[in-house]
Amino acid sequence: MLTMDDIVREGHPALRKPAEEVPVPLSEEDRQTLEDMMQFLRNSQDPETAETYGLRPGVGLAAPQINVSKNMFVVRFAEEDEEPIEMTFVNPKIISHSAETTHLPDGEGCLSVDRSVEGTVPRYSRVKVEATDENGHSFTIRLRGFFAIVFQHEFDHLNGIMFYDRIDGDDPYKEDVPPALKVIRSQDDTPLSF
């Protein structure tokens, strides 16, 4: 099983490298990796298992965070008294998004970041996404609310972007700015995003 020891932390090059397209249909290895990632989220959300293994309760995990540089991630969360929603995104694309932006009032954290970072992270309020599931079937889905925020956080990991790249350094709690970025340049000076 995956534990916190399998999750790479800030400073690891896998977190800054754009991930590779996943061949479809998925290999047995890629499907197993996704299953292990989802099991990590389940374990981390189970208070007893989380306590036993020292897991932070995760709502999303992207493959680059376990040093697998592939375009895939898993998301899992439960609203009170509801069945948990589990979703796997392989080779996701944002087809369109709202003009409206949103943010979590208390900012964001990350399983790969062992410190708290002040400031809010602007996200699109709604995104329309095209992706492939773990069985190689493509689907389109509209996301809003917390789900849309988690999706965008994980999607950023596939492009080497960390949540704090999107916090305005001069005004960390600035409201209603588009989720654009200043160009971040990797060590070999190739732009990662714009």
Known binding-site positions for Fe cation:
110, 153, 157
- The contact set with ligand UDB (CB under 6 A) reads 56-62, 65, 77, 104, 108-111, 149-150, 153-154, 157
CA distances from 181 to 28, 56, 101, 185 (A): 36, 28, 14, 11
**115 or 170: whose CB is closer to Zn ion?**
115
The neighbour count for residue 147, using CB atoms within 10 Å, is: 18
**Site residues (CB under 5 A) for Zn ion, limited to 102-161:** 110
**64 or 131: whose CB is closer to Zn ion?**
64
CA–CA dist 166, 159 (Å, integer): 13
CA–CA dist 189, 183 (Å, integer): 10
Residue 159 Cα to chain centre, angstroms: 10
**Site residues (CB under 5 A) for Zn ion, limited to 82-111:** 110
Nearest to 149 by CA among 97, 91, 112: 97
Q: Are strands 126-132 and 123-124 parallel, antiparallel or unpaired?
A: unpaired
Q: Which tokens go with 127?
A: 């995104």
CA–CA dist 192, 183 (Å, integer): 7
Nearest to 19 by CA among 72, 93, 87: 72
Residues making up the binding site: 110, 153, 157
**134 or 154: whose CB is closer to ligand UDB?**
154
Minimum gap (Å) between residue 51 Cβ and ligand UDB: 15
Minimum gap (Å) between residue 157 Cβ and Zn ion: 6
Which does residue 149 touch among ligand UDB, Zn ion, none (CB within 5 to 8 A, set by kind)? ligand UDB
Whose CB is nearest to Zn ion?
110
Minimum gap (Å) between residue 104 Cβ and ligand UDB: 6
Contact between 15 and Zn ion by CB under 5 A: the answer reads no
The number of residues that bind Zn ion (CB under 5 A) is: 1
**131 or 158: whose CB is closer to Zn ion?**
158
Active-site annotation, residues: 154
Minimum gap (Å) between residue 149 Cβ and ligand UDB: 5
CA distances from 174 to 101, 142, 169 (A): 12, 26, 10
Which residues are near Zn ion by CB under 5 A?
A: 110
